[in-house]
Chain A
Amino acid sequence: MRRRHFLTLSAATLGGVLVYSLDRKASILASQKKSVRIPLRFFTETEALIVAAAASRIFPSDDSGPGAREAGVAIFIDRQLAGPYGRDRFRYTQPPFEDAPREFGYQGRATPREIYREGLKGLQGFHLLAEAAQDEALRQIETTLFFALLRQNTIEGMFCDPMHGGNVDMVGWQLLGFPGPRMSNFDEIEKYYGKAFRPKPVSLADATRAKIRPSEDEQ
């Protein structure tokens, strides 16, 4: 049994946003609360802090809008790695493993969990560095499989349905003007030629009023 780890997020970093706990209950992290402790499923606390810091250099919060920090990308990645994706439940993993040209896709043996564990060893202390030094450290690894995975998972955590732990408060969707699973655009599809149509985003749970179990929450 692994020791329980928590990622502690402060209200100051998050602003007043929704945080999804393990049982998927949303709670508003109001400014009067100092911090919230989110239980981790896969990462150690230090690993989660490194992933959070790296994701927010890949997808920074800046004057163009919120980034990986506000979206809760580290929590998303933690849950994905703990679930079937992290252990390669659906990939063909029988040997022999051979090196191959790019057109054959990833041919390695390591699962996403193993790739993260190994990759994070090379980023020790990353979360304590200044931003410029963090960027330099990422440039050193930007051609690695670990970085490719981290970058892809960061995009996923920015724009997934909030039930997966990322895109908290739909900040990613708001950034793009994506309305989420909107049930009908029948009246609008030919009406907004050349003009932005930006309905307020809804999550899948809100749109369907149903309880949905995401794939990372296995039975």
Chain B
Amino acid sequence: MKTLPAVDAVIIGGGWAGLLMAKELSARTSLSIVVLERGPSREPSDYATDMDELDFYVRLRMMQDLSQETVTLRHDTSKRALPLRQHGAFLPGAGAGGSGEHWNAQVPRFLPDCFELLSKTTEKYGSNALPGGHAVRDWGVTYDELEPDYTRVDKLLGSSGKAGNLRGKLIDGGNIFEGWRSEEYPTPPTKVPYVSALFRDAAKSLGYHPYPAPSANISRAYTNPDGISRGGCTYCGFCNRFGCMVGAKAQPTNLLLPIIQKRKSVSLRAGAWVRRILFDSGSKPTVRGVTYVDATGEEVFQPASLLFLASWTFNNTRLLLLSGIGEPYDPASGRGTVGSNLTHQISVPSATAFFDQPLNRFMGSGSAGFMVSDFDRDDLDRASLNFIRGGYFAVRGFGFQPIANFGVLPNSVKATWGSEWKKAAVSYYDRTGSIIFTGEHLAYKSNFMDLDPIYKDKLGDPLLRLTLDWRENERDMSDFATKKAVEVARAMGAKEINPFPSLRSYDTTRYQSTHVQGGTIMGASPDHSVVNPYLQHWQLPNLFVLGGSTFPQNASANPTPTILAFVYRAADAIVDRYLKHPGPLG
């Protein structure tokens, strides 16, 4: 195998986390940095002509190529896992920018108590408050410590919204249930699609506290602290599964790549498929570098002094397992940490509502809309509820596109083809809106990842195997959300409403979100976690793991701002302390 010239730092994965780390390190140090991205390279200009629903939304051109590698899934350890042969429940992206290119740019923060979920819940409600078999953990960081980094993220992205809690002062019209913010959002809220305005007014009439959805499809022109300028959103509706045609959506290719490309110290190698992380064990265990198959098909060794694993939840976990780094988690004995705490944010269309009037649903963005967080808190009436924690409701004016949205019909319409079906589907096409509920997914001992014993990737390496299913807490939370959402839909003036059926077995075919987390979690002690709260590996101090794989459990909120905040925090620790004295960051 050919050995390439050594570099200071290798970053595996050219998405949000990896490219933000590359930008920060290249701005503040003289380290030579190589980013290894297994998908294609990209430019913002690629998106000038991508507004084609069939190739992008339906055939999923921006997603990982499953013919090369997928994951397998089983609901519990007594079952045999099967490969996810086509995309479904989540959509990991490939190529420069990763999933940060095709995302919807919804940017809420996690609630303060999410970071101390185990201790706060136990303290307030006793040790029996969490469901049996849970694996909930504290993160080893508090919201107050992270808040400055959240604010940096909002400024990087130019987030649009309205604060509901400015340094403890609650503000009407913002989210009064959120954690404190040190500053107002950098840009004001986005415009409001009609269906979201109906939701806002109905929620208010029922005594809730609707607020504009935090959005990184920005409401007006903005220049961020790095000097990157973007124009405002045009509400064309092509966000979800597309790159932004006008660059209003925050994406790694418009916020990070242009800066990195100007720096000679950083290079991005596309088509680089990392197979193993090599390390020396012994008295001072250290990562030596990585092996990867390059774009020409040759396998090479790239030595590095510092390694960042930033290749999304699945591949972060899989590369540690394939490389024999750390002890694989074993649910039977409870030993080991790599692969534990697999979670997937609950996301369900709690109520699909059908209206008399047209909604003009082609206008919108992936994040323009309203949210309600009145049930996203831990002080709900616990005596009458059979679940803990909660989530938020949202009605966003995603731009409706016709292939994906044609044929959503009230349950009263039975036909599925032919004239009767066609007439109903044409008539309801632009009169349909969903109230989405997004809820916390607690970690359980029985939900985890390991290597599949049967199925392989294109190179013959084992696929990652997910063992994952819903438990009573998620089912009860979803049922509760459905009841509330139906009330709101009625108040919106819906003529017919399809309530969401209960969450049964985890369904790989229904898209939920690309917020699958865990596997390499952070924590205050190496007994239960893979990395410390600076995302540094407990045993290999020159290895850092970035991304949602480090989250001990899933919050109700979407993860990108939190992922980025932790990257800033890790970059500070590396630049200010690690590079001066390489070793464990206490």
What is A's interface to B at a CB cutoff of 8 Å? Answer: 57-60, 62, 64-65, 67, 85, 88-94, 96, 98, 100-107, 135, 138, 142, 151, 155-156, 158-161, 163-164, 172-173, 175-179, 181-186, 188-190, 192-197, 204, 207-208, 210, 212, 214-215
Contact = CB atoms under 8 A, between A and B. Distances in A.
Contacts of B363: 185, 188-189, 197
Instruction: Give the one of A60, A135, A210 with max B CB within 10 A.
Output: A60
Interface of B: 48-49, 51-55, 58-61, 65-67, 69-70, 73, 80, 82-86, 88, 191-194, 197, 232-238, 245-246, 357-358, 360, 362-364, 368, 397, 400-403, 406-407, 416-419, 422-423, 426, 429-430, 454-456, 505-509
Contacts of A195: 357-358
Majority secondary structure, B binding face:
loop
Contacts of B58: 156
A90 B418 CA distance: 31
Contact of B83 (A67, A85, A92, A194): A92
A159 B82 contact: no
Given A93-B67, A189-B191, A155 B406 contact: yes
A158 B81 CA distance: 37
Contact of A176 (B66, B429, B506): B429
A115 to B, nearest CB: 14
Instruction: Give the one of A89, A178, A193 with max B CB within 10 A.
Output: A178
A186 B505 CA distance: 42
B44 to A, nearest CB: 15
Given A138-B417, A204-B49, A106 B86 contact: yes
Instruction: Give the one of A186, A189, A190 with max B CB within 10 A.
Output: A189
A196 B358 contact: yes
A189 B357 CA distance: 15
A148 to B, nearest CB: 10
B422 A64 contact: yes
Contacts of B73: 104
B82 A107 contact: yes
A120 B152 CA distance: 59
A59 B191 contact: no
Nearest to A138: B417
B194 A192 contact: yes
B509 A185 contact: no
A160 B417 contact: no
Contact of A90 (B66, B368, B397): B66
19 contacts: A60-B418, A60-B422, A64-B426, A88-B67, A91-B66, A104-B82, A104-B509, A105-B84, A105-B88, A158-B402, A160-B53, A164-B54, A184-B235, A185-B235, A186-B233, A186-B235, A189-B363, A210-B49, A214-B52
Contacts of B401: 159, 178
B83 A190 contact: no
Given A91-B67, A160-B54, A85 B364 contact: no
Contacts of B194: 190, 192-194
B182 to A, nearest CB: 31
Nearest to B456: A94
Nearest to B458: A94
B506 A155 contact: no
Contacts of B364: 185, 189
B360 A196 contact: yes
A62 B422 CA distance: 9
Given A60-B418, A90-B67, A92-B70, A215 B85 contact: no
B417 A172 contact: no
Given A62-B422, A192-B194, A210-B49, 14 more contacts: A58-B418, A64-B422, A64-B426, A90-B65, A91-B86, A92-B67, A92-B85, A98-B82, A107-B85, A176-B406, A177-B429, A185-B236, A190-B194, A215-B59
Contacts of A90: 59-60, 65-67, 86
B86 A176 contact: no
Contacts of B51: 181, 204, 207-208
Contacts of B506: 103
Contact of B403 (A104, A155, A179, A190): A155
B67 A89 contact: yes
Given A62-B422, A64-B422, A103 B358 contact: no
Given A105-B85, A161-B54, A204-B52, A183 B417 contact: no
A101 B505 contact: yes
Contacts of A163: 52
A57 B415 CA distance: 13
A103 B49 contact: no
Contact of B417 (A151, A189, A190, A208): A151
A160 to B, nearest CB: 4
Q: What 8 A-B pairs have minimum CB-CB distances, sorted nearest first? A: A181-B51, A159-B402, A184-B234, A185-B363, A196-B358, A160-B54, A185-B235, A92-B70
A190 B454 contact: no
A102 B504 CA distance: 12
A62 B58 CA distance: 27
B360 A192 contact: yes
Contacts of A214: 52, 54-55
Contact of A212 (B49, B237, B368, B416): B49
Contacts of A98: 80, 82
A137 B402 CA distance: 28
A40 B506 CA distance: 41
A102 B429 CA distance: 27
Nearest to A192: B360
A102 B82 CA distance: 12
A65 B426 contact: yes
A39 B59 CA distance: 24
A104 B508 contact: yes
A108 to B, nearest CB: 9
Nearest to B429: A176
Nearest to A199: B362
B3 to A, nearest CB: 31
A175 B430 CA distance: 11
Given A156-B403, A183-B234, A208 B48 contact: yes
Given A94-B456, A102-B509, A142 B417 contact: yes
Contacts of A104: 73, 82, 84, 508-509
B85 A197 contact: no
A103 B54 contact: no
Given A91-B85, A98-B82, A173 B191 contact: no
A185 B237 contact: yes
Contact of A100 (B82, B236, B357, B407): B82
A161 B69 CA distance: 30
B358 A105 contact: no
B403 A160 contact: yes
